[in-house]
Chain A
Amino acid sequence: MGDFFTLSVLVATAASAIRLATPYLLASLGETIGQRSGVLNLGVDGVMLLSAFFSYWTVLETGNLWLAVLVGLVTGLAVGVLYGVITVRLSATQGISGIGIFIFGLGLSDLLFRRQVGTPKPVRRLPNVDIPVLSDIPYLGEALFQRNLLTYLAFLLVPATALLLSRTTFGLNIRSVGENPQAADSLGVSVERTRFIAILMGNSMAGLAGAALVLQLGIFQPNLTQGLGFIAVALVYFGAWRPVGVMGGALLYGLVNATVLQWKALGIIPVSGSDLANMAPAVLTILALIVLARRVHAPAALTRPFTRH
């Protein structure tokens, strides 16, 4: 049995937490933007599966990681167009269309993988990039500043999203159509356009999340996400629709997962208690929310299609 509280193990745990948190964070931030505009997307997992597949396939065929990231993003964007048409243009019920997207993504990514690839083949993984100076900080540098670019991007998107929502005209539009679309509409803000763009942004980020997941792993398998997208949606609620809160949720989730794995590796958690330990991230997430007892209210128009007559 090893010792958890050695610096190297703690550093590895932190690094692992950050890696695990990256796809959650990207997807949750995207979902946050969508939800702030009043659109719930339960299809995040499906988007991620499709983008993960296309990213993976791109690396497999071209070996180009950045092209793969772009392909992941564009895949998300493309599904976003579909989702936008369904929910915004056609005002279809968001809950069910999201689940439709999820099932579709689950099936199609599996199908394409089986047809185009078949046997899992490893591809290049995202390389870690050291940030000058910062990466030299003892321990901290290794945990935080020797990560891959998508991880950096994910964390940079936290202030960026916060800024977008709180300081830009478009963010103002997003918030207003998510709270009171009638009011926004009466001032000439196009509810439809705002929501559509928010959906595109959100889905692109879900696309990036899929790319991050698969490129951190270097391999694809059917149902690679294992429901990750649903947890990402849950984390938006956990984070109370604020980018920083969402980041807290993603990190908490990643950290608990990483710690459980580390403790299993060290034998601190016996094999027989393995199952109970596996529920720790979920239980802690619920407990955290009960303790924090944040009485924040969802965007008032969340899931409500807007029609003017």
Chain B
Amino acid sequence: MGSDENILEMRGITKVFPGVVANDNVDLDVRYGEVHTLLGENGAGKSTLVKILFGLYKADEGSILLRGQPIAVGSPSEAIASRIGMIHQHFMLVPTLTVAENVALGMTSSRRPFTDLDAVSRRVSEISEEHGLAVDPSVEVRRLAVGERQRVEIIKALYRDAELLVLDEPTAVLTPGEVDDLFVILRRMADAGRGLIFISHKLREVMSLSDRITVLRNGRVVGGTTPAQTSREELAQMMVGRTVRLTPEKPVLDDGPALLSVENLTVHGDRETVAVDDISFDVRSGEIFGIAGVSGNGQRELAEAIAGLRGVEPGSSIRLDGVDATGDDTRARRDRGLGFIPEERMRDGAIAEFTVSENLVLVDYGSDEFTSRGMLAFGAIGQHSRRLVDEFAVKTPGIDTPTSSLSGGNIQKVILARELSASPTVLLACQPTRGVDIGAAEYIHTRLIEQRSIGTATILISEDLDEVLGLADRIAVMYEGEIVAIVPAEEATRDKVGLLMAGVVDPAPQTNS
């Protein structure tokens, strides 16, 4: 638990972006030795607030006191010099540099003008060991799995001896096991007297880690509490301003025909290694087939192979609605009824510079409905877009707004709207609610269940165990490129699936649990 002394006080912070008041007179204080959580919907202003603290944005109004002294943080280097560390929502790593180089970046070297990577590597190893953050300092970051990158980010902050550490959605990309490990580390750091600001959309985590919680809505502080005084349901209500159903309800359906059949699928990864190793499974109409697993175990490659974005090895077969689609490209598979929600929404799912409307027709702009005499039919496209924006409750100033100015959750809704409006027979949904606030996540879950009810075969690839457990009819667990088990929903528990994800396939304890 924290002391009573504040390491940080932010007073009356206001920040306006064109058209948006991102922070409106926000107060926040953080004590030594506490984990202080910021909670709020997508776009509530959490990231903006901590970016101001870190010198990335300049507040329009307000003041900051660090260790009781007023400071003006003009740039990240000033923040770092004041022993503020930050782990950003989007990793701030240079993929082409090694771990050690990423850590050394911006630090003065003992061997100027040369870098001193040996010394950095040694220190990195020490920190790794001390905090249980295993990572090889000589590896290029682009070769690391997401969880490992996260560790590099933490090491970077520890290396700089940060006393006030900000973590902006650090768990969004982690597996349950990794989250547990991270929390042990974070707790230990807090206990050692550091102040931590933690941002997350996952209420289970917030409840387990936080000492205090501040909730933001529309840029304003709407309340403060502690885990002991509140519940997940109450927190959800504070954030969203209405009641939120946290566990989705889904009707019982009869088995339908297999709409997607994957047989003996073998796929190579980027480095010519086998990423997916001879996998077979069927997904039936009206079924949500969950694929759980620690990131980096072949889920991404599996999804890309199904979507036609990655070549498969000879002998593999993918059938869509009974027809062999192994040789088809993405367009042809989509024309056969495949819908695809990619994992990396900003890279693969939507085009930031395109308008909302353009993104809504990104896959069927050329259909008869949206063209007339070879030209795009803007009337029809506009009508369609407005309908989807309404139907999917996308928060946007208009359909001609550039998609980049939408919040993550709303971009995800745009993608979802696009893919569902094409009435897919098979829907491939990868990490559909990653980084999305609970309100939006609830909505996305509802839509996926609706889709299930009308007979779509859905593959849900997710690292969020709650999500998989809540939605899937059957859960396949991937480990090192293989499906180690397919567990029916009624037999699946957090522990059981968690163990499988860790590669523990021993059938004896499995049947026992």
Q: Tell me, rounded to whole Å, the shortest Cβ–Cβ distance linking B226 to chain A.
A: 31
- Which residues of chain B come closer than 8 Å to A169, judged between CB atoms? 104, 108-109, 112-115
User: Which residues of chain B in 85-124 are interfacial with respect to chain A, using CB atoms and an 8 Å cutoff?
Assistant: 86, 88, 90-97, 101-102, 104-109, 112-115
- Residues of chain B in range 104-159 having any CB-CB distance to chain A below 8 Å: 104-109, 112-115, 156
Knowing A179-B96, A188-B80 are in contact, say whether A172-B104 is a contact too (CB < 8 A): yes
Secondary structure class of chain B's binding surface, majority of residues:
loop
A189 to B115, CA, bound (A): 14
Q: What's the minimum C-beta distance from B266 to chain A, rounded to whole angstroms? A: 23
A186-B54 contact in complex given A173-B105, A176-B97, C-beta closer than 8 Å:
yes
**A297 — nearest CB in chain B belongs to which residue?**
B96
Asked if B115 and A176 make an inter-chain contact with CB atoms under 8 angstroms apart, the answer reads no
Interface residue ranges of A156-188 to B (CB < 8 Å): 167-173, 175-176, 179-180, 182-188
- Do residues A180 and B94 form an inter-chain contact, with CB atoms below 8 A? yes
> Do A183 and B76 form a contact, CB below 8 Å, given A172-B104, A189-B105?
no
Most buried by A among B91, B93, B105, B114: B105
Q: Using known A-B contacts A176-B94, A179-B95, A309-B57, determine if residue A187 contacts B106 with beta carbons closer than 8 Å.
A: yes
Chain B residues contacting A182 (CB-CB under 8 Å) are 90, 92
* A187 close to B115 (CB less than 8 A): no
Most buried by A among B81, B88, B94, B113: B94
> Given the complex of chains A and B, what is the CA–CA distance between A171 and B109 in angstroms?
12
- B97 touching A186, Cβ below 8 Å: no
Q: Would A187 and B105 be within 8 Å (CB), given that A167-B114, A168-B113, A172-B115 are in contact?
A: yes
Which residue from A175, A176, A185 sits with its C-beta under 8 Å from B76?
A185
- A180 near B101 (CB under 8 angstroms)? no
Q: What residues of chain B lie closer than 8 Å to A115, measured between beta carbons?
A: none
Q: Is B25 an interface residue (CB 8 A)?
A: no
A170 to B109 CA separation, bound complex (whole angstroms) = 10
Q: Is A308 an interface residue (CB 8 A)?
A: yes
Task: From A167, A171, A176, A189, name the one whose CB has the most chain B CB atoms within 10 angstroms.
Answer: A176
Q: Min CB distance, B63 to chain A, in Å?
A: 20
Q: Does B280 make an interface contact (CB < 8 A)? A: no
* Cα–Cα, bound, A183→B56 (Å): 11
CB-nearest residue of chain B to A170: B113
Query: Can you report 24 A-B residue pairs in the complex whose CB atoms are below 8 A from each other?
Result: A167-B114, A168-B114, A169-B104, A169-B108, A169-B109, A172-B105, A173-B106, A175-B94, A175-B97, A176-B94, A176-B105, A179-B94, A179-B97, A180-B92, A184-B94, A184-B106, A185-B56, A185-B76, A186-B56, A187-B76, A187-B105, A188-B75, A188-B76, A190-B77
Q: Are B113 and A308 in contact (CB under 8 A)?
A: no
A→B interface (CB under 8 Å)? 167-173, 175-176, 179-180, 182-190, 300, 308-309
The reply to whether A180 and B104 contact each other, CB–CB distance below 8 Å, is no
Chain B contacts for A179, CB-based, 8 A: 94-97
The answer for the CA separation of A309 and B93 in the assembled complex, in Å, is 20
Is B96 in contact with A186, judged by CB distance below 8 angstroms? no
Residues on A with C-beta less than 8 A from B97 are 172, 175-176, 179
User: Can you name the residue of chain B whose Cβ is closest to the Cβ of A176?
Assistant: B94
Within 8 A of A (CB), among B333-367: none
Contact of B94 among A167, A170, A183, A188 (CB under 8 A): A183
Closest to A171 in B: B115
Shortest distance from the beta carbon of B269 to any chain A beta carbon, whole Å:
15
Shortest Cβ distance from residue B50 to the other chain A in the assembled complex, whole angstroms: 12
6 A-B pairs with the lowest CB-CB distances in the bound complex, closest first: A188-B77, A187-B106, A183-B92, A186-B92, A188-B106, A176-B94
Shortest Cβ distance from A196 into chain B, in angstroms?
Answer: 16
Q: Which residues on A sit within 8 Å (CB–CB) of B115?
A: 167-169, 171-172
Q: Other CB < 8 Å A-B pairs besides A169-B112, A187-B80, 4 of them?
A: A170-B113, A176-B97, A184-B94, A187-B107
Task: State A175–B101 Cα separation when bound (angstroms).
Answer: 10
CB-CB < 8 A to B79: which residues of A?
188
Per-residue contact bits, chain B 24-67, to A (CB 8 Å; 1 contact, 0 not): 00000000000000000000000000000010110000000000
Inter-chain contacts of B93 with A (CB < 8 A): 180, 183
Cα A175 to Cα B94 with chains together (Å): 9
- Distance in angstroms from B410 CB to nearest chain A CB is 20
Q: From residue B136, how far is it (CB to closest CB) to chain A in Å?
A: 18
A51 to chain B, nearest CB (A): 26
Give Cα distance in the complex from A172 to B97, angstroms. Answer: 8
Interface centre among A169, A176, A189, A308 (most CB of B within 10 A): A169
**A308–B106 alpha-carbon span in the complex (Å):** 17
The smallest C-beta distance from A97 to any residue of chain B, in angstroms, reads: 22
Residues of B within 8 A of A309 (CB): 56-57
Q: Inside 8 A of B101's CB, which chain A residues have their CB? A: 172, 176
- Distance in angstroms between the alpha carbons of A186 and B102 in the assembled complex: 11
Nearest-CB residue, chain A, relative to B88: A186
Identify which of residues 348-390 in chain B touch chain A, using a CB-to-CB cut-off of 8 Å.
none
Cα of A170 to Cα of B105 in the assembled complex, Å: 9
- B106 and A189 contacting across the interface, CB-CB below 8 Å: yes
Give Cα A186–Cα B166 distance, bound, in whole angstroms. 13
Q: Kindly list chain B residues whose C-beta atoms are within 8 Å of the C-beta of A167.
A: 114-115
- Report the nearest A residue to B86, measured CB to CB: A186
B96 surroundings in chain A (CB, below 8 A): 175, 179, 300
From residue B43, how far is it (CB to closest CB) to chain A in Å? 16
What's the least CB distance linking A155 to chain B, in Å?
Answer: 22
Report A-chain residues with C-beta under 8 Å of the C-beta of B92: 180, 182-183, 186-187
